[in-house]
Amino acid sequence: MVGVNSTIEIAGLKLRNPVMLAAGVLGVTGFSLKRVAEAGAGAIVTKSIGIKPRDGYPNPTITETNCGLLNAMGLPNPGVEDFECELKIAKEGGVSVIASIFGASKEEFAYVGSVMEEAGADAIELNVSCPHTEVVALGQSPDLTSDVVETVKKGVDIPVFVKLTPNVTDIVLVAKSAERAGADAITCINTLRAMAVDVETGKPILANKVGGLSGPAIKPVAVRCVFEISKEVNIPVIGCGGITYWQDAVEFLLAGASAIQIGTAIAFRGLSVFKEITDGIQEYLSKKGYRNLKEIVGLSHKF
């Protein structure tokens, strides 16, 4: 693959490849994150971390659906103080570490963000989009979203990404409002608000009843969000949702994503998925005669 360059720069972060780890997946401990980096990820995003430790919801926290997974973890995390040392271990992986954070208020977001910066995070990803916890429905409002972005931006010098939820009437509105407030990139999408009821017992399966749908099932929704947002904003869009094969990744790049994140596919295909997707993208670029990843970002817009 002579001459094919599949590195990419997102808001100043240089990634060796565009295949990132998604937030909340294998992201609670430093060694776990480091392993994902070693498996070939271009950057790693931590579990969403809050100001205090949270146990999350009781089990079942996950259940399989048609071509997808439904989860309601409830944002379990050790709290930002305890997480600092994990972040340092994660950095040994040698790739950019993006700290996903959440909070009940913009002040909490700002505090957690600045601790993460000090601990060495290369960027912050604001999780304003978890579809099944009380604390993070902010992303459903363009105004609250821009509030949080502005406040966090004031407190840190590293880039700030905003992770958006598809559970809104107009995701482009929220994206634009985040951009205006100074966001350096948009990550989309988080999971779709969803649910499963067991037919045998009549009971909702997840302990929290409602959860978030991820995996191949939601890919078309995510592609649409990336397409629509990347047409309307000038900051990079990071695509996420159901990416499982390199073809899926290329689809997101064509739709307008500058990089992509992998979550559920790890359960379906293992950690080798990072290398396989990166290789697939490279091979695609090379066979198609492109020399640069950037050449295909948003290519579908011109049709």
Partner 1 sequence: MPFNRSNHSKFLNPPILHDKLRIVKIKEIKSETPTIKSFTFVDEKCTETSPGQYVMVWIPGIDEIPMSLLRELNKNLMIAVKSIGGASAALHELKKGDVLGIRGPYGHGFTSITGNIMIVGGGIGIAPLVPLTKNLANPPTKITFILGATTHEELLFLDKIRMELSKNDGRIIVATEDGSFGFKGLATDPIEQLLKKQKFDMIFTCGPEKMMKKMFQLAEQYKTPIQASLERIMRCSIGLCGSCMIGKFRVCKDGPVFSSEQLREVKNEFGTFKRDFSGIKVKI
Task: Just list the catalytic residues.
Answer: 130
Q: State the minimum distance, in angstroms, from the CB of residue 32 to its own copies.
A: 27
One of 28, 104, 204, 286 touching its own copies (CB under 8 A)? 204
Q: Toward ligand FMN, which CB reaches closer, 267 or 299?
A: 267
Decide if residue 18 touches its own copies (CB under 8 A): no
94 Cβ neighbours under 8 A, 6+ residues apart? 37
Work out whether 290 is an interface residue with partner 1 (CB under 8 A). no
In whole angstroms, the minimum distance from the beta carbon of 78 to ligand FMN comes to 13
Helix/strand/coil for 282: helix
CA 121 to chain centroid: 15
Strands 68-71 and 210-214: antiparallel
Q: What angle do CA 124, 130, 136 make, to 5 degrees?
A: 75
Q: One-letter amino acid identity for 16?
A: R
Which of its own copies, partner 1, ligand FMN, none interacts with 207 (beta carbon under 5 to 8 A by kind)? partner 1
Contact between 26 and partner 1 per CB under 8 A: yes
Report the site for partner 1 in 51-80 (rule: CB under 8 A).
53-56, 58-67, 69, 71, 73, 76-79
* Plot region of 79 (φ>0 → left; ψ -120 to 50 → alpha; else → beta): left
With beta carbons less than 8 A apart as the criterion, state whether 160 and 149 touch: yes
Q: Please state, in angstroms and rounded to a whole number, the distance separating the CA atoms of residues 123 and 69.
A: 28
Beta carbon nearer to ligand FMN, 245 or 290: 245
* SS3 of residue 27 by DSSP: coil
- Name the site residues for partner 1 (rule: CB under 8 A): 24-29, 31-32, 34-35, 47, 53-56, 58-67, 69, 71, 73, 76-79, 82-83, 198, 200-201, 203, 205, 207, 216, 244-245, 247, 263-270, 283-284, 287-289, 303
